[in-house]
Structure 1
C-alpha cells in the first residue's frame, strides 16, 4: 500500500514536471516568440495556454504595452546658433516581435539606447532648421509630428517597434545664456519704464502749463470784471455826487471840505505849511 502511494506521488510529480516543461502561458500584456535551438520557429504567439517541446524549444516573452523612454536633457543649437536645453520623452511599443528580438535580443535597455540615439539625432536636425521662436511656440507641434513620423519608419525597420508619440517636456536656456537673456529683459523693461516715466512727466508738464494758463486767464477776466464793476460803481457814485451837488452846491462843498480835513489831520505827526488865508481853511475861518 505504501509502495502504491509512493508510485502515485512519483507519477504526479513527473507529470507536473513534464507539464511545467511543455506548457506555458502568454498574458494579454505580453508578446512572445518560440525558439528552436536559438532560431525563431514561431513568431508573435497569441495570449493563452500553449505547448512547447522541452529542451528543444525556448519561449521569450516581451512587454506588449506602451513603454516610455525618458531621455536626459540634451543641448541643441537653433537656426540662429542659440543653445537650448531640451527635455523629451518617447512612447513606443513592439510592432514586430521577431525583428525586435533579432535586433535587441529582447532587451528593452538595448532598444532604449538605440532609440535614444535616433531621437537625439532627429531633435538636433529639427532644432537646427528652426529659430528660437519657432521651437518654443510657433512650430513646436509640427516639429514633434515630423520627428515622430521620420523616426517611426526607422524604428520599424531597424528595431521592429512603432513610435506612438514623441513629446518635448520643456525647453530651457543654458545657465550662462539665461543670465544674459534675463539681463537683456531687465534692461528692456527699464528702458520702457523710463519711456513711460518721461511721457508721464511730459503729460504732467502739459497739464500743469494748461492749468497755469487757465489760472492767468481767470485772474485776468476777474480783474477785468472787477475793474468794470468798480468803474461802473465810480460812475454811479459820480453821478449821485453830481446830482447832490446840483441840489445844494454849498453843502456839497462843505461836505467835501470836511472829508479833506479828516483825511489831512488823521495823523497827528503831519506838518502842513499853508497860508491861513488859503481857500483850504475857508470853513474854519467862518466858524470863528
Structure 2
C-alpha cells in the first residue's frame, strides 16, 4: 500500500513537472525565457516548446503593432507661434531581449520612454518650421523627419517605430480668443464694406431714378405747356372769330363772365362810380331796352270777347 502511494505520488510529481515544462507560443507573441531572472533564450516561432520546470520563467511580448497616444503638448514653432500638439505613435517590439534589459517585462515602461522621446522630437523638428509649413503639404516631410528621429532613439530599447502622426494641432486658448476676435473684426470689416458698397449702389440707383423722374416730369411739363399753349391759341382764335362775327355780343358775354366771377362769393365789395363801364349792361337792362344780340318781338294784341246783353222779360 505504501509502495502504491509512493508510486502515485511520483507519477503525480512527474506529470506536474512535465506539464510545467511545456508552454505554447502563439502567432501574436514572442517569448523570452529567463532562468533565475537571467535571460536564456528568445523564441519567435509559434508552437509548443519546452523549458526547465520550476526554474525557467516565460515572459511573453506582443509582436503586433502597438499604439501610444501622447497628450497635448505645447510646442513653439520657428516663427514663434505656439501650438498644442496631440500626436500618436505606432510601434512594435523587435528585440524582446533588449526590451527586457532596458525597459523591463511590462509595456508600460516603453510608453513612458516614448512619451519623452516623441515630445522632444516634436519640439526639436517643429522649432525650425513655420505655421504655414505645418499646415501645408510640407507636413508629410516634417512628420517623416520626426518619425526618423523617434525611431533612432527607440531602437536602443528594442522597439521599432512605424509611424508618428499629429492628430490635432490647436492654438493656445489665449491665442484662439485673439484669433477669433481678429476674425470677427475682419468679418465686421467685410460686412461694413459690403454695406457701404450696397449703399453706394442704392444711392446710384436712386439718383438715376430721380434723374429719370425729373426728365420725365420736365418732358411731361413741356408737353403739357405745349398742349396748353395750343389750346389757349385755339381758344383765342375762336374768341377772335366770335368777336369778329358779333363784337357787341362778345363784349356782353365777357361782361357776364366777369359778373359771375365777381359776385359768385356773395360778399364781394366794389367801390366804383355809378357811371363805371363795369355796370354798363346793368344800366342798359331797363324795361323795353333790348340786350345786345337779342331782338324783341312785341306780343300780338287779342281783342276781349263781347258778351250779349239779356233780353227783356215780357
The verdict on a shared fold, with TM-score over 0.5 as the criterion, is yes
The aligned residue for residue 146 of structure 2 is 147
| Whole-angstrom CA distance in 1 between matches of 2:256 and 2:126 | 108
The aligned residue for residue 114 of structure 1 is 113
The aligned residue for residue 247 of structure 2 is 249
Task: Please point out which of 261, 264, 275 is paired with 1:263.
Answer: 261
Alignment of 1:162-173 (within 5 A): 162-173=160-171
Which stretch shifts more, 179-188 or 19-28?
A: 179-188
The aligned residue for residue 209 of structure 1 is 207
SS in 1 for 2:267: coil
Please list every run of 5 or more consecutive structure 2 residues that lacks an aligned counterpart in the other structure.
287-314
| Whole-angstrom CA distance in 1 between matches of 2:5 and 2:150 | 62
Residue 40 of structure 1: how far off its partner (Å): 4.4
How many residues align structurally? 286
Deviation track 1:210-248 (CA, whole Å, cap 9, x = no partner) reads 333333333222222221221122122222223333333
| Whole-angstrom CA distance in 1 between matches of 2:148 and 2:128 | 17
Deviation track 1:75-133 (CA, whole Å, cap 9, x = no partner) reads 11011212221111211111233332333233322212222222111111222122223
The aligned residue for residue 52 of structure 1 is 51
Higher helix share: 1
Residue 163 of structure 1: how far off its partner (Å): 1.7
Q: Contact (CA 8 Å) 1:80, 1:131: kept in 2 or not?
A: yes
| Whole-angstrom CA distance in 1 between matches of 2:210 and 2:4 | 123
The aligned residue for residue 233 of structure 1 is 231
SS in 2 for 1:84: strand
SS in 1 for 2:92: strand
Residue 74 of structure 1: how far off its partner (Å): 1.0
The aligned residue for residue 19 of structure 2 is 20
Sort the Cα spacing of 1:104 and 1:247 in 2 relative to 1 into closer, same or farther, 3 A: same
Q: Contact (CA 8 Å) 1:136, 1:171: kept in 2 or not?
A: no
Deviation track 1:3-23 (CA, whole Å, cap 9, x = no partner) reads 576456424422322123321
Which stretch shifts more, 197-206 or 45-54?
A: 197-206
SS in 2 for 1:88: strand
Q: Contact (CA 8 Å) 1:44, 1:97: kept in 2 or not?
A: no
SS in 1 for 2:18: helix
Answer 1 or 2: higher relative contact order, Cα 8 Å, separation at least 6: 1
Q: Highest Rg: 1 or 2? A: 2
The aligned residue for residue 190 of structure 1 is 188
Please list every run of 5 or more consecutive structure 1 residues that lacks an aligned counterpart in the other structure.
none
Q: Contact (CA 8 Å) 1:44, 1:98: kept in 2 or not?
A: no
TM-score (norm 1): 0.86
| Whole-angstrom CA distance in 2 between matches of 1:277 and 1:58 | 156
Q: Contact (CA 8 Å) 2:31, 2:42: kept in 1 or not?
A: yes
The aligned residue for residue 28 of structure 2 is 29
Which stretch shifts more, 147-156 or 66-75?
A: 147-156
1:86 maps onto 2:85 in alignment: yes
The aligned residue for residue 177 of structure 1 is 175
SS in 2 for 1:270: coil
Deviation track 1:138-171 (CA, whole Å, cap 9, x = no partner) reads 5334332332233234323x12222222222222
